[in-house]
Amino acid sequence: MKRQRWTMGAVVRIPLSTDKFAFGVLLKQPMIAFLSTSSDAQTFEGPVTDDQILLKACVDTYIISKGHWIKVGKVDLSTFDSSEPIRYVYDTISDCYFLYHGSWIDTSYLKPCTKEVALQHDRAAVWNLWAIIERLEKALVE
């Protein structure tokens, strides 16, 4: 595996167990926008639009730096919403839910919310290699 650097706008190829490939666009480290299609092709061509984004998730950066997912192209980040999504955090000690966003500096990045509001968002987590592949395979089959 070839070592590589994180480059915003780079498209990475993600091998799936179905002998197909999924693709993701590198955003601000460690966020990746995963595309809603899989393909037999090993490269991705064309612009990315909001309709093509399946999910945005943070991943372990070693996946890119160690070359597990190879960069196969580059896209213009201005053609889709490449901003960080709001995510939720559950605090087991206080038994409370919070919304998380990197721009909420004045509130230490967290705002309290109800469970119902929190579950409308993705959990704030850093996904490892196998967990994100499993999540992509389940989503791309449906």
- C-alpha to C-alpha distance for 119 and 106, rounded to whole angstroms: 23
Does residue 33 sit in the same domain as residue 63? yes
Does residue 141 sit in the same domain as residue 79? yes
pLDDT at 134 over 70: yes
- If you average pLDDT over residues 78-103, what whole number do you get? 92
Does residue 138 sit in the same domain as residue 71? yes
Does residue 66 sit in the same domain as residue 113? no
pLDDT above 70: percentage of residues in the chain: 99
Does residue 17 sit in the same domain as residue 56? yes
Does residue 63 sit in the same domain as residue 90? no
- C-alpha torsion angle, residues 54, 58, 24, 128 (rounded to 10): -110
Per-residue pLDDT, 120: 94
Q: Which residue has the higher pLDDT, 106 or 31?
A: 31
Its domain, for residue 142, covers: 1-83+124-142
- If you average pLDDT over residues 69-92, what whole number do you get? 91
pTM of the shown model: 0.87
Does residue 131 sit in the same domain as residue 102? no
Question: C-alpha 92: how far from its chain's center?
Answer: 25
Query: What integer best gives the mean pLDDT of the chain?
Result: 91
Does residue 62 sit in the same domain as residue 109? no
pLDDT digits (tens, 9 = 90+) for 15-70: 999 889 999 999 999 999 999 988 888 888 878 888 899 999 999 999 999 999 99
Number of domains forming the structure of the chain: 2
Does residue 116 sit in the same domain as residue 130? no
pLDDT at 142 over 80: no
